[in-house]
Amino acid sequence: MLRFALLRTLSAIPTLLLVIVVAFIMVRAAPGGPFADQRVLPPDTASNLAAAYHLDESLPQQFWRYLSGLARGDLGPSYHYRDYSVAELIGNAVPVSLLLGALSMLLALLVGGAAGIAAALRRNTWFDRGITALAMTGISVPVFVVAPLFVLIFAVWLQWLPASWSGGNGLQRLVLPVIALALPQVAYIARLVRGSLIEVLSSDYIRTARAQGLATTSILRYHALKPALMPLVSYLGPAAAAVLTGAVVVESIFGIPGLGQLFLQSGLNRDYTLVLGIVIFYAVLVILLNLLVDLAYGVLDPRIRER
Amino acid sequence: MFATPYIKVHDIKVQVVDSRGGRLGRRSIAKPLSLLVVALFAIAILAACNAQPEFGDYLQRGLAADPESLDPHKSRSTEAGDVLRDLGEGLMGYSPDGELEPRAALRYALSDDGLEYTFWLRPEARWSNGATVTAEDFVFAFRRLVSPETAAFYAHSVADIENAADILAGTKPVQALAVSAAEEFVLRIRLANPTPYFVALLSHPSTFPVYAPGAVEHGDAFARPGRFVTNGAYRLVGWQLGATIDLQRNEHYWNNAATAIDRVRYHVIPEPTVELNRYRAGELHVTSNVPSEAFQRLRKERPDELRVAQRLSVYYYGLNLTRPPFRDNSALRQALSMAIDREVLAGQIVGRGEAPAYSWVPPGVNNYEPRRFAYAELSMEERRTAARDAFAQAGYSKDNPLAVEIRYNTSDANQRIALAVQSMWRDTLGVQTTLVNEEFQVLLSNVQAMQVTEVFRLSWSGDYNDAHAFLQVLQSNASSNLAGYRSEKFDNLMQRAAEQTDAERRRRYLEDAEQVLLADHPVIPLYFFVSKHLVSPEVSGWGDNVLDYHYSQHLSLNAAN
């Protein structure tokens, strides 16, 4: 297992390098620059700024400077937030994003999983159809509709919860964004678990277990759930990445100082180093999550572990 | 006896499962799942405990974006300016109604040749750590502002100080800057040429004093909570990027007794609709903006809370004068400008109290009467007729129609305006207009390159209350002259105004310069922006002003109605 994990990590290095090169080229190919403004800078000021940030060097030189900084673990200074380094900015945003993402995934797993199992056990009843319909709604109604609606109902009309991150504290301010972010995932997971469980439940060995008189709960607990969760596990990696990277809409609606907002702004500001820093962070995250999923397969499915 | 066969059958079953390829043991999946749940909840609760319960009884203000920096020399955005005006204080400042007045200075005098300013500082002025604010602090700040190493955005705004331009260009050392401390509380600034708006510049955050020991100790990152020593009514106690900026009363401020509000929190909210929701949820006292789609409704529902005021800012269409069809064709430029019904545009398309623009310099500028387009007094029907004549004179007609392109940065408001202009041009002149929307940075780089643009949307805001703030933009050598306008006549008048020490004569030169500009039509001003805020009934002391400056120290909170 350890060897497997190590090999996978090593094989990720070329991928990461490629990501850095492509991101560097793309962000530099975009028109504009970190100091562009309709209040155009006078030539002296512009060249002083370019010199201060080494933007007057050739692109290969700048790339080399960036890579050697990276090798020392230095992501460089932010070009837009001139008092901060990229590492500081990412370091401030990551805990917030992780918390939001982890809670949403947890909620999605609990609610989505439970709903999926319940629906699968009561297949083709009104309950099942209700869950399926709700899930379809959850998937198709976009978060930029749901989130403002939540704010309107729970913050403006009922005044139960804060409308924003900085409008409350503790768990309170997490409730609406976590639910908004989890909703599409709840729906997706419910459908996934339902489908997969129905398939497993109709397989021969479950029928045999039933024939032996095992109670439904025991069948689920010892025989059906594990194989039924396999598709869910393979979905979790990309889903976690999607929740972390795709939180930008929720973050902007609730004013959450997370990574998604920072990423969006860095692109609009042409904050070259910050864009690259976040791309690298996301790339590492996705690689790690995929590794975790592969390891989780092994835990759930011995056939993979033994190979 | 009875139980044995049952167990056997069950055992066989397990083996069948095994033979399908796995030791599907009797390990329950419940345990790892519940561990995961417990772990995640633990994280959530820990994180929740970390959050400080802070919301309460202080001023909550909306802010449209994070300041890029709170270092007076590394910031340039409106938002940075708003926060910095609470934290720091220049030699000059503004009253709630927008009147320029001495602040860190008690008074000032100008020499007869209009070149040397003497400022007498307030001896009682203190930094937030209790240290005295001296003339040396200003000298340090001005030198840092123009130093090429600092690479300050606003360095050029003080280029009129003697030797400043040379220092910026790297040909003279910063010590050559003609800003000196004559005595502990007397500051002298010598200019290279008379600059009547110079005192107004001294209210801009880029000219605030900087606490030298702090800048030396912390290097470039001194403007952060816990480090930033400020001389204004407040000090910086917290800044969570993307969320909030927290200020607390500066007990050492010379006018601390007049400050009513102890704590101020700026909430960073880029989206106006989100900001409105938060205002309605009672989380904000003051918003930084009002979404256009809610404007009419708010005007009915909350007329007393909606504050709309003229602002020194113009929304315009620039014309690329370096390429056809607009190069050397002022008749065409005028025809297009005349064919636009600005009343409809400002009143119905934008519709938030904006004023139609018939001049380049907005109304409300001190000691100045904006000139107007020659056709401003005509009725719209007469203008259309005149526009058709000018269009024909420019060499175009229904048989030889003009095809032109409007570029604007992607936004609903910009699109609505472009669509309206497109149909006005088509109906009156038969112009075929293509609309191109681009991300702001893409638009800017195209406009600056002057290679593909024809008509482009931009805006301009005055940094100081003087006609020069607008007119200088279109001087031949101005870096922000994105139309590529070159007029000797205009430049000459601007130069004469610059050399003039008599306010009345200077004013006339500037007004004449605008007249030349308007006749040439290098730009088509469409409307003048207004500032729009929702101000809670709990807030008193709010004053509307053309610069849209609202110092927190002028506000106070009374009990909710």
pLDDT for the residue numbered B9: 36
Given the DSSP bridges, would you call strands B523-534 and B539-540 parallel, antiparallel or unpaired? unpaired
What is the C-alpha to C-alpha distance for residues A266 and A59, in angstroms, rounded to an integer?
20
| Bridge partners for A283 per DSSP | none
C-alpha closest to that of A269 among A30, A3, A84, A52: A30
pLDDT for the residue numbered B12: 37
Instruction: Record the tokens describing residue B486, joined without a space.
Output: 């070159």
pTM of the complete model beyond 0.90: no
Q: Does B12 touch chain A (CB under 8 A)?
A: no
pLDDT for the residue numbered B39: 65
- 8-state DSSP, B70: S
pLDDT for the residue numbered A202: 86
Q: E strands within B68-130? A: 92-94, 100-102, 105-110, 116-121
| Bridge partners for B92 per DSSP | B102
The list of chain A residues with pLDDT below 70 reads: 1, 246, 302, 304-307
Instruction: Name the residue among B13, B29, B278 with its Cβ closest to that of A167.
Output: B278
Query: pLDDT tens across B471-486, in order?
Result: 999 999 998 999 999 9
Which residues of A, range 276-295, sit inside 8 Å of B by Cβ? none
Map residue B23 onto helix, strand or coil.
coil
pLDDT for the residue numbered B464: 86
DSSP secondary structure string for all residues of B303-332: TTTEEEEEEEEEEEEEE-TTSTTTTT-HHH
pLDDT for the residue numbered B225: 93
Convert B521-542 to b/e letters by CB count within 10 Å (16 or more is b). Answer: bbbbbbbbbbbbbbbbeebebb
pLDDT for the residue numbered A305: 58
Q: Does A106 touch chain B (CB under 8 A)?
A: yes
Contacts A42 to B, Cβ<8 Å: 156, 159, 479
Q: Cα B491–B324–B476 angle (5° rounding)?
A: 15
CB atoms within 10 A of CB A301: 18
Nearest-CA distance from A86 to chain B in Å? Answer: 12
CB atoms within 10 A of CB B297: 9
- Report the share of chain B in percent with pLDDT over 70: 89
pLDDT for the residue numbered B288: 96
What is the C-alpha to C-alpha distance for residues A53 and A65, in angstroms, rounded to an integer?
11
- 8-state DSSP, B133: P
Average pLDDT over residues B376-381: 93
Tally C-beta pairs within 8 A across A and B: 217
Split at pLDDT 50, 70, 90, the class of B35 is low
Phi, psi of B523 (to 5 degrees): -135, 155
pLDDT at B5 over 80: no
pLDDT at B141 over 60: yes
For an interface test with B, the pick among A106, A144, A166 (most B C-beta atoms closer than 10 Å) comes out as A166
DSSP secondary structure string for all residues of A140-203: HS-HHHHHHHHIIIIIIIS--S-SSGGGS-TTHHHHHHHHHHHHHHHHHHHHHHHHHHHHHHTS
Split at pLDDT 50, 70, 90, the class of B11 is very low
Q: Where are the alpha helices (DSSP H) in B58-172?
A: 78-87, 135-146, 164-168
Query: pLDDT tens across B158-180, in order?
Result: 999 999 999 999 999 999 999 99
Nearest-CA distance from A36 to chain B in Å? Answer: 7
Which residues, 6 or more positions from B153, have their beta carbon under 8 angstroms from its beta carbon?
Answer: A35, A41, A45, B73, B74, B75, B76, B206
What is the C-alpha to C-alpha distance for residues B9 and B341, in angstroms, rounded to an integer?
91
pLDDT for the residue numbered B34: 66
pLDDT at B290 over 80: yes
C-alpha closest to that of B334 among B400, B378, B369, B399: B378
pLDDT for the residue numbered A169: 74
Average pLDDT over residues B399-425: 94
pLDDT at B121 over 50: yes
Given the DSSP bridges, would you call strands B244-249 and B263-268 parallel, antiparallel or unpaired? antiparallel
Average pLDDT over residues B459-472: 92
Whether residue B66 and residue A212 make contact (CB cut-off 8 A), yes or no, is no
pLDDT for the residue numbered A290: 82
In whole numbers, what is the pLDDT of chain B averaged over residues?
88
Average pLDDT over residues B485-513: 92
Average pLDDT over residues B500-519: 92
- Report the share of chain B in percent with pLDDT over 90: 73
Instruction: Name the residue among B43, B150, B460 with its Cβ closest to that of A99.
Output: B43
Which residues, 6 or more positions from A68, have their beta carbon under 8 angstroms from its beta carbon?
Answer: none
CB atoms within 10 A of CB A72: 6
Split at pLDDT 50, 70, 90, the class of B463 is confident
pLDDT for the residue numbered A209: 85
Whether residue A92 and residue B224 make contact (CB cut-off 8 A), yes or no, is no
Map residue B538 onto helix, strand or coil.
coil
Given the DSSP bridges, would you call strands B403-409 and B455-461 parallel, antiparallel or unpaired? parallel
pLDDT for the residue numbered A137: 87
pLDDT at B86 over 80: yes
